[in-house]
Amino acid sequence: MITIIKSRRYIDSLKREAFVYIALPKTYELNPQKCYPVLYCHDGHNLFYEEDSYGGVTWGMQEAMALPSMPDFIVVALSCASKGNNRLEEYNVFQGRFPSHPLWKIHGRGHQYLDYVLGPLKQEIDHTYRTLPQPEHTFMMGSSMGGVISLEAAYLYANKVQHVAGLSNAFYVSTPELVSMIQQFKGTIQTIYLDTGDAEVGLEVSSSYLNSNRLIQQTIQHQGHVNRFLYQEIKGGNHHESSWKSRLPMILQFLFQYYQ
């Protein structure tokens, strides 16, 4: 049985309230000596409960974690900022623009967001639960702009997180900055999973998603500093929780394949 703990808090460094969702794996109470890797997720309100989710559809995280073949891990998910462009700003360390909305200028506050998630929040989780706290056991995942901040975490916080996944990534918002970030990186990252659907329509047309994701894929592969890298273009994949739900079990199996 998956145990989900939901709590509300005010995050002073982000100047907003948030819900924190913590999901403990099916063996957590049965095996009190075991410690677990931790997956930090963005847009946490969309993962578990339909009544909390943006469009009434969840990622089905609880169901995916409960699959008999699924490795065991802890999920920590923070709900996003809901006012104005705050979500877009927290999910990008760089300034960005949406070509379809030229008056929207995104002032990146991703460092403040990641400093909280991988700082005080991670410290709290490691103190409260039986975790494997090292970066090689720390994972991060998100979709759209959540995919952007996850990739940035891998490159800019490699001393804290070593495995990331991004779905339907909105890389077009800051493509040159992301390419430069990847090119300047000198270390090693254990795992990166990226994908995009061929029917993505968010704030841009599908070509923006496809072209920017392909460029990021090519840049990562050219640099050669990721031990496990998987990029996929999902036939019929669109920009919706239902699409992400359909491929979540496969992605989790890929991320945690060494924890069987």
95 pLDDT higher than 90: no
For residue range 200-232, list pLDDT tens digits in order.
876 666 688 899 999 999 999 999 999 999 999
Question: For residues 79 and 183, is the Cβ–Cβ distance under 8 A?
Answer: no
3-state secondary structure at position 47: coil
Per DSSP, 120 falls in state I
| C-alpha to C-alpha distance for 39 and 16, rounded to whole angstroms | 22
**pTM attached to this predicted model:** 0.96
- Beta-sheet strands, E only, within the chain: 3-11, 16-24, 38-41, 74-78, 96-98, 101-106, 138-143, 163-167, 189-197, 226-234
Angle between the 145-156 and 175-184 helix axes, to the nearest 10 degrees?
20
For residue range 123-177, list pLDDT tens digits in order.
999 999 999 999 999 999 999 999 999 999 999 999 999 999 999 999 999 999 9
pLDDT at 84: 77
For residue range 168-188, list pLDDT tens digits in order.
999 999 999 999 999 999 999
pLDDT at 99: 67
pLDDT at 97: 74
Angle between the 175-184 and 206-223 helix axes, to the nearest 10 degrees?
10
For residue range 40-70, list pLDDT tens digits in order.
999 999 999 999 998 889 999 999 999 999 9
**What is the mean pLDDT of the segment spanning 16-33?**
96
102 pLDDT higher than 70: no
Pick the CATH number of 3-259 from 3.40.225.10, 3.40.50.1820, 3.40.50.80, 3.40.50.720: 3.40.50.1820
Domain definitions of the chain by residue range: 3-259
| C-alpha to C-alpha distance for 78 and 30, rounded to whole angstroms | 26
256 pLDDT higher than 70: yes
| C-alpha to C-alpha distance for 178 and 148, rounded to whole angstroms | 9
pLDDT at 206: 66
